Structure 1
Amino acid sequence: MKQIPLSFKLVIILVWALPQMSTDIYLPSMPAMASYFHTSISMIQYTIFFYTVGFSLGALFFGPISDRIGRRPVILWSLVIAAIGSLIAMLATSLDILFAARFIQGVALVGVGSTMRAVTKDVCPDKQEMARFGAVLGIVIPIAASIAPVIGGYIEHYFYWRISFVFLLIYISIFLVYTIKTLPETNHDKLERPLKYMFIDYKEVLTNGVFFRYNSITAFALCSMFAYVTISPYILQVKVGLSPEQFGYTNLIIAATLVISSFINSKMIYHRGIDKMLQ
């Protein structure tokens, strides 16, 4: 059984935490952002909507593209575009510009996340090892993501909301340098077939009942998560009166429940196998 190197596991964890961190880090700053742009928090919440739209659209294309041209260039250019999106968000002077920046971030960061997932499969094709590592990610990533609002809370307290996007820009730049200097190409069997077959594959997936049954579970879970992420700054900061730092720490409670459930899931996968768990 081929094992994923420990150092590479750390990189994967940090990269996979990036898309969720880019959403969570500025949550404590939403009331301040609404004040800056002279608008309501409900309008600031659209930054999550545009990010999600970009994320969803990008997910349709980056996988097939990385199969054709390789993983490394897709990750490289996705990080470049994500850095540009973070820079635009950092300098945004209007809501329209901020919305556009968040859309760009969403498109780019799904390219990073989905392609890194493919890199993981290239490095370790064993299904059971991948399932166990996926369970570990389910434990570690909620912890990493829960830290983001805590960081964002202190950023808002000591600085102001734009610094959250500075933090993201630095975070992305670190992995951009890593990709340029260290990340190898792992796709050594690139697809050469015409692009039209990509749409044939989409048709097969969209007409697969098993795919819809399994992914509907994920869809409902993600809907619940984004609903909480969107409304929590308004309820907990504006209505309840929590400070940005206090709001950041409330996410640690959610992370704790996710860690416990993910730990139980990893043990069940180890003893029962991924196929039985899905059934």
Structure 2
Amino acid sequence: MAAGNPLFEFLLRQGDNALVLGHRTSEWCGVAPILEEDIALANMALDLIGQTQMWLGYAGEVEGTGRSADDLAYLRDVYDFRNLLMLEVPNGDFGRTQMRQFLFDAFQVPWLTRLQDSRDTRVAEIAAKCVKEALYHLERSSQTVIALGDGTEDSNARMVEALMFLWPYSGEMFVDDATDQAMADTGVAPLPSELRAPWLETVEAVAAEACLTLPDSDYAQKGGRTGFRHTEHLGHMLAVMQTLQRSYPGATW
């Protein structure tokens, strides 16, 4: 897997985040609380899968072994995925899904905005396309979190639970490692830790409108890059997502 190539690793992270969240979001298709949300979530999932195609397509080119975006999506095992842990945990109720989307969107917008200035032309071009969708996603998820948090007693309680459940995972977004440092040194991407301040500013503003109190900062933890993975969560999701390709290897339509 292009061992030792930090650009390949970096691209996998971007593509896997979009792929895993896109699949999780697609699980609401046909079962969302109202028709408008059903359609909106399906469209957001499609946006994320489109982003996956660009990131993993470029990753395959960088790897140089002939693997396509589809190969990287469908023919890797659970420990080869580089997504944030927060994105793979089961959806839970509608409130938890929306809170996860918001916490990720609040990171993605400044992240993709910065990536538009990447010294890697392809990274900059992909980011420029993705940020337009990310801005829309952030607008929707922010509005939904506010509506549910500042809604009924029950909806507020559910959003409090969602925030408390997801907050420990949020710290992983801002952990810098050797790959991140290599990307920063070559001007491909900023260090994730540089994005914590704008992320927190957005999260605090929305939480205030939603009548939610953020947990103490010490409540967040680093998460996945320490080596721990929820294999039962991602493994089950991949079993569903990869069934067709693994049942009929190499099939095309």
TM-score (norm 1): 0.34
TM-score (norm 2): 0.37
Structure that is richer in helix per residue: 1
Bigger Rg, which one: 1
Higher relative contact order (CA 8 A, sep 6+): 1
